Structure 1
Amino acid sequence: MNKKITYAFVQKPEANKKGLYPIYLRAFQSGKKIEIATSITLTNRDWSAIRQRVKKSNKLHERHNAILDAYDKKVLKLLINNFVHDETPLTLRQFKDKILSTHQTDGSFTDYILNYLNENKARLRIESWWSYKSQITKLLKFKKEILFTDLTEQFINDYHLYMLTTLGNNENTASKSLRSLRTFVNISLRYGYMKNNPFKFITIKKVDGKRDFLSLEELNKLSEAYFSGKVTKSIEKEILQYFLFSCYTGLRYSDLKTLQAGSIDGNKIKINMHKTGYLVVIPLTQKAIQLLPQKIPFGTEPVFRIYCNKVTNRILKKIGQTYGIPKKLTCHVARHTFATASITLGIPIEVVSKLLGHTSLKTTQVYAKIVDNVKEREMEKWDRL
């Protein structure tokens, strides 16, 4: 079988958000192919498919063609060295990794990351993929074009300040964005697009955010409204149903969406947590059992009809206002409610941690602190007697 690697520069048929078409290095071996994104994006009329170079009509043609020439030299050097010195031919994956690890550090940082995300979409959880894409959009609000050379410690500090002041983000939101940016930087470092790590001397803060949860009285109020038939609109009843089910089981919104009939085994739920992949077994209380549909479907059929996050939160907000609950109700409030209620009822924190599917007890201990704070606040009422 022929193990020879051949390659060509091609213009992708799909345009980016700016209406430009990315240039890729496409390599072939034994009927398979692999693609490497360059930093070059063009209009259709600026690319010569025959010459595999940028036409002079593009004002940056000299710079772009210099990048392609550099790729040519690196590829030829790599293939010749492999042929002369190595007995085992390169695989396409090795070829790509070696080319990227020696690539120059000029070009667009954000274009490279967007191309990387598109290439690796199948390997990422869809929520993570969309989150990373939104972080790039947010980053481009700060600076319209970001080159690899722009990524300095000062740039990161300025971006942090911009999020806190101009965008009005809280520290946790800003820190989440910085962690995403650090992930992008690490990818660039791994493949040789950057040589120095701008995050080397930067500590990303993690502040315990406010966790809203229902008190036992508020949970009982909503539960009573559901079971007594006070909630009559079908969409409100459906959403309150799976919100309360989450309150009694601790399931995340993503786990509610993927909860299948086959996951219910008698009076237990056996489910691989969507976020961590951990298998968690949750015994069902009587209230949770009553919240299951009367006719549970079979096999891979979803247990609940789950509306999108936006609709779910809008309806939950309306329900909260109707029943005088002064909190922003979301599915994560339901998970927080399960955690704090469980600890309040005396369930050992180690058990609560297992039921929530936490990978670390430290994560669960946050809820213990919340419960302690509530106790202290409530005890202060004695001083007002």
Structure 2
Amino acid sequence: MEKATFSVSYFLRLNKLYRNGEAPLLVRITYNGQRTEFTSNHRVKPEFWDQKSNKALGKTAYAKKVNGFLDHIYLSLCDSIKDLEERGMEVTAENIKNNHLGFIEFKQVTLLSLYSEHNQKMEALIGKGYSFSTLQKHLTTVEHLKDFLKMNYNSDDILVDKINNQFLLDFEFYLKSNKSISSNTTIKYLKNLGKVIRSALNAGYIKRNPFTGIKYHTEEVERTFLDRSELQLLIDKKIPNKRLEQIRDVFLFCCFTGLAFADVQALTADSLYVPNENEIWIKKRRQKTKKWFHLPLLPQAKNILDRYSNHKIREKGLLLPVPTNQKMNAYLKEIADLCGIKKNLTTHCARHTFAATVTLANGVSMESVSKMLGHSSLLMTKQYAKILDETIGREMQQLKDKLH
């Protein structure tokens, strides 16, 4: 890319002298060969002007004052170029002039109006690249921003170009202190906001990204999963309540398949295929990442599906009676109390149990587990492997046998 050429020259309009003998100062801009002119609001006495050197001659106070005007105009025009570039506008001689003179009006946009526009577009693309859960996270971010603006600024909104580094730091502190939100979840909300800020930057509504210079570090989270004895306890437990029994079965199905809540809730007969007489596989895309995963059903999972073969949920094309995620997790707390399990049972816990206890602890390769979970990276699967003392013990025993 060729470097742009830019020059500024000055002329006196000697044919339009003022009564005191001063002449208007004409400014000529040349950018990449294009030329435009405008009359400045400065006047110069012709006897002090040297056209060849493009400045006032001498070292008098008057000459210094005139040349100071010229320097100011030049720097202002340079700022005009930089401003156009930062806003993503085309840099031309005419635009440089108009921006310098204040003839270009840049649209002022508020943060929440821009965020609302972002969410409306995302809503229109649900199922076409976005999921409803992703939209829900952005809607929650907006609600936190509304509360923050009301408390810290006593306002319902704020101009997006007023958002700076301090605004982001204050918002982070607000989420952690006033909302008691964990550090990792706070970072997710800030990243959601960052996406909208980048759109403002690309549209030219702001000149600089206020996130520049801010670095966020997520904290390592201990992943809850059931060990062998806890999993067996859950399987063997007789639950008289029909509602809780169904929740337990859905949870166990996730323990033996690794399906996330959204995936088991949307599981249909179309997701199953039979490669041979004795095998049933699940083949579908993950709701969250849209990554394909292939999974042969273990006998425990197949038995649960068979148990609900005549359930009314099958009339809707679904395979298992799965409530909302909120109800599911609430019922799981009741089940944990019935079983005497002290761990917090959630649908995430079931997925972690499949990765850690059902597969990796039984020697299934990390690559296979990653594929079955629909992970986008093997690094995600490695998070489960490092928490298995059982795996370490087994591998060290194998080493002992070899050394012996």
TM-score higher than 0.5: yes
Offset of residue 256 of structure 1: 0.5
Q: Find the counterpart in structure 2 of residue 181 from structure 1.
A: 193
Taking the TM superposition and a 5 Å limit, the aligned residue runs for 1:344-363 are 344-363=361-380
2: distance between equivalents of 1:198 and 1:252?
35
For the residue of structure 1 that corresponds to 2:124, the secondary structure is helix
Offset of residue 190 of structure 1: 2.3
Q: Deviations over 1:95-140 (max 9, x none)?
A: xxxxxxx983523211221133124412132111111011110122
Q: Find the counterpart in structure 2 of residue 130 from structure 1.
A: 136
Q: Find the counterpart in structure 1 of residue 290 from structure 2.
A: 277
Q: Is 1:316 aligned to residue 329 of structure 2?
A: no
For the residue of structure 1 that corresponds to 2:283, the secondary structure is strand
* More deviation, 128-137/163-172: 163-172
2: distance between equivalents of 1:120 and 1:174?
21
Q: Deviations over 1:138-196 (max 9, x none)?
A: 12221132321231111111211222222222211111111111111112222222221
In structure 2, do the counterparts of structure 1 residues 215 and 118 end up closer, same or farther at CA, with 3 Å as the change threshold?
Answer: same
Offset of residue 374 of structure 1: 8.8
Q: Point out where structure 2 has 5 or more consecutive residues left out of the alignment.
A: 1-103, 151-156, 275-279, 397-404
Q: Find the counterpart in structure 1 of residue 88 from structure 2.
A: none
1: distance between equivalents of 2:222 and 2:391?
13
Which amino acid counterpart does residue 269 of structure 1 have in structure 2? Answer: I
* Residue among 249, 256, 269 paired with 1:248: 256
- Identity across the alignment (%): 31
Q: Deviations over 1:23-61 (max 9, x none)?
A: xxxxxxxxxxxxxxxxxxxxxxxxxxxxxxxxxxxxxxx
Whether the 8 Å CA contact 1:105–1:149 is kept in 2: the answer is: no
Q: Find the counterpart in structure 2 of residue 70 from structure 1.
A: none
2: distance between equivalents of 1:359 and 1:103?
45
Q: Is 1:104 aligned to residue 112 of structure 2?
A: no
2: distance between equivalents of 1:279 and 1:154?
42
2: distance between equivalents of 1:373 and 1:347?
14
Whether the 8 Å CA contact 1:103–1:193 is kept in 2: the answer is: no
* Residue among 336, 340, 351 paired with 2:352: 336
Offset of residue 295 of structure 1: 5.5
In structure 2, do the counterparts of structure 1 residues 314 and 167 end up closer, same or farther at CA, with 3 Å as the change threshold?
Answer: same
Whether the 8 Å CA contact 1:250–1:339 is kept in 2: the answer is: yes
Whether the 8 Å CA contact 1:270–1:282 is kept in 2: the answer is: yes
Q: Find the counterpart in structure 2 of residue 57 from structure 1.
A: none
Which amino acid counterpart does residue 327 of structure 2 have in structure 1? Answer: V
1: distance between equivalents of 2:345 and 2:373?
19
In structure 2, do the counterparts of structure 1 residues 119 and 277 end up closer, same or farther at CA, with 3 Å as the change threshold?
Answer: closer
Q: Deviations over 1:187-227 (max 9, x none)?
A: 222222222111121112122222111111101110112xx
1: distance between equivalents of 2:315 and 2:373?
24
Whether the 8 Å CA contact 1:293–1:303 is kept in 2: the answer is: no
Q: Find the counterpart in structure 2 of residue 211 from structure 1.
A: 223
In structure 2, do the counterparts of structure 1 residues 205 and 307 end up closer, same or farther at CA, with 3 Å as the change threshold?
Answer: same
In structure 2, do the counterparts of structure 1 residues 278 and 120 end up closer, same or farther at CA, with 3 Å as the change threshold?
Answer: closer
Offset of residue 239 of structure 1: 1.0
Whether the 8 Å CA contact 1:222–1:323 is kept in 2: the answer is: yes
Offset of residue 372 of structure 1: 4.0
* Residue among 154, 158, 177 paired with 1:146: 158
Q: Find the counterpart in structure 2 of residue 85 from structure 1.
A: none
Offset of residue 279 of structure 1: 1.8
Q: What is the number of equivalent residue pairs in this alignment?
A: 272
Which protein has the larger Cα radius of gyration, Structure 1 or Structure 2? Answer: 2
In structure 2, do the counterparts of structure 1 residues 309 and 103 end up closer, same or farther at CA, with 3 Å as the change threshold?
Answer: farther
Whether the 8 Å CA contact 1:262–1:300 is kept in 2: the answer is: no
Q: Deviations over 1:258-299 (max 9, x none)?
A: 110121223211111111212211011111111113464779
Q: Find the counterpart in structure 2 of residue 364 from structure 1.
A: 381
For the residue of structure 2 that corresponds to 1:249, the secondary structure is coil
Whether the 8 Å CA contact 1:281–1:355 is kept in 2: the answer is: yes
Q: Is 1:257 aligned to residue 257 of structure 2?
A: no
2: distance between equivalents of 1:328 and 1:201?
37
In structure 2, do the counterparts of structure 1 residues 358 and 324 end up closer, same or farther at CA, with 3 Å as the change threshold?
Answer: same
In structure 2, do the counterparts of structure 1 residues 373 and 241 end up closer, same or farther at CA, with 3 Å as the change threshold?
Answer: closer
Whether the 8 Å CA contact 1:358–1:364 is kept in 2: the answer is: yes
In structure 2, do the counterparts of structure 1 residues 322 and 295 end up closer, same or farther at CA, with 3 Å as the change threshold?
Answer: closer
Taking the TM superposition and a 5 Å limit, the aligned residue runs for 1:1-385 are 104=106, 106-123=108-125, 124-144=130-150, 145-225=157-237, 230-266=238-274, 267-294=280-307, 296=309, 301-341=317-357, 342-372=359-389
For the residue of structure 1 that corresponds to 2:387, the secondary structure is helix
TM-score normalised to structure 1 length: 0.66
TM-score normalised to structure 2 length: 0.63
Whether the 8 Å CA contact 2:332–2:345 is kept in 1: the answer is: yes
1: distance between equivalents of 2:299 and 2:121?
47
In structure 2, do the counterparts of structure 1 residues 146 and 290 end up closer, same or farther at CA, with 3 Å as the change threshold?
Answer: same
Which amino acid counterpart does residue 140 of structure 1 have in structure 2? Answer: K
Which amino acid counterpart does residue 292 of structure 2 have in structure 1? Answer: L
Whether the 8 Å CA contact 1:268–1:283 is kept in 2: the answer is: yes
